Structure 1
């Protein structure tokens, strides 16, 4: 018995006068039968090869251009930088295509500062005046003897300092954790980080307040700087990286 040259066998290994596999496929190399019925074409037929569609022997390539490209510019589609001149570095702006917050103008900042100044200054000033009056009235001008009212006046003067410091720290805590002091809340503005739009925290709020010393040198020019600055920042804002914007309504 011989193999491969038997006259009763076809070269492919199938006996003569016997039907081959169903479907008209020639016997594949390697002994694996072809799939029944083949693979159905996708809806609409196969695109021409020049369009990068169906490729023989390689399956179906991933569709080209199925997903829209990410918008150019920053992570919010460049709208923030385009609308506001890129003053936030392309990072700050709410997601979802909403417009970025409006920068607070100088008048609103002045109004908020005046309100906060009254909150801290009025009780401090009242306690200081009463304490100073009691201390001065308890001293005999002729003999120089000190009366009992001197001690009360001294206590009230120290209390005025403590009240002023406590109220000031409370306002900085409010600004750092909510973005708003009482004055800023009244006029509708808030302090946030320039790059992220997040609240700056209590510690940075205190640092920012201390940096306002630079705004007063020379001739308080730093406090006037927001009038012409593109980001409407004082020198303190530029040092700590903050901006003052209109609060969401």
Structure 2
């Protein structure tokens, strides 16, 4: 039995201004009260696959709003086309006078879609860790090594790495059984997606 027994934790702050011995590393090799053990890493709260898919769907739906002018322009072209049926029953459409407005709408829609995609996926996600969809569902893309957002450049490279995920969609399904819920692109870029609501 040890001849030295440490005092019990005080119920109130020490009135003499001395540090609380329980806030200091214990001489017996135990961590301070309420702290992780020495050498123990804190496991991140990885976002599950369902949330990641949900965020992707939200992003897709929001980005489709930027694509609306393309749909409108296409409908205008089809509505103004002349349809004829040949002798063998083939339906053909011709439009000799397309007009500038439908073409302008299509071009503006494509430009708006691409601009929104670049802003949401590369710039916003790279600088904050959140796309619009990730922000709605409270999940965040961060570097596994630093715990910080990865920046627009790495967000772009990570998006290119998703090409590997698209082969038979195995990479996109990989988080279902992966210990860190990572896709192949996440493993290549050492990124993780964690539960962290915007605040």
The two structures share one fold, judged by TM-score above 0.5: yes
How much does 1:156 deviate? 1.2
Give 5+ residue unaligned stretches, structure 1. Answer: 1-66, 85-100
Equivalent residues in 2 for 1:93-108, closer than 5 Å: 101-108=44-51
- Counterparts in 2 of 1:71 and 1:191: CA distance versus 1, 3 Å: farther
1:155 counterpart residue number? 104
Give secondary structure in 2 for the equivalent of 1:225: helix
The alignment yields a C-alpha RMSD, in angstroms, of 2.8
CA contact 1:135–1:152 (8 Å) conserved in 2: no
- Which residue matches 2:153? 203
Shift of 1:137: 3.2
Structure 2: tracts of 5 or more residues without a match:
1-24, 32-36, 85-92
* Residue 42 (structure 2) pairs with residue 77 (structure 1): no
The number of aligned residues is 161
Partner of 1:128: 70
Matching of residues 1-249 of structure 1 within 5 Å: 77-80=38-41, 84=43, 101-124=44-67, 126-141=68-83, 144=94, 146-147=96-97, 149-172=98-121, 173-217=123-167, 219-247=168-196
Structure 2 counterpart SS, 1:78 = coil
Q: What is the Cα deviation at residue 145 of structure 1?
A: 5.4
> Which has the greater radius of gyration?
1
TM-score by length of 2: 0.71
1:145 & 1:114 partners in 2: Cα distance? Answer: 36
Which is helix-richer, 1 or 2?
2
- TM-score using structure 1 length: 0.58
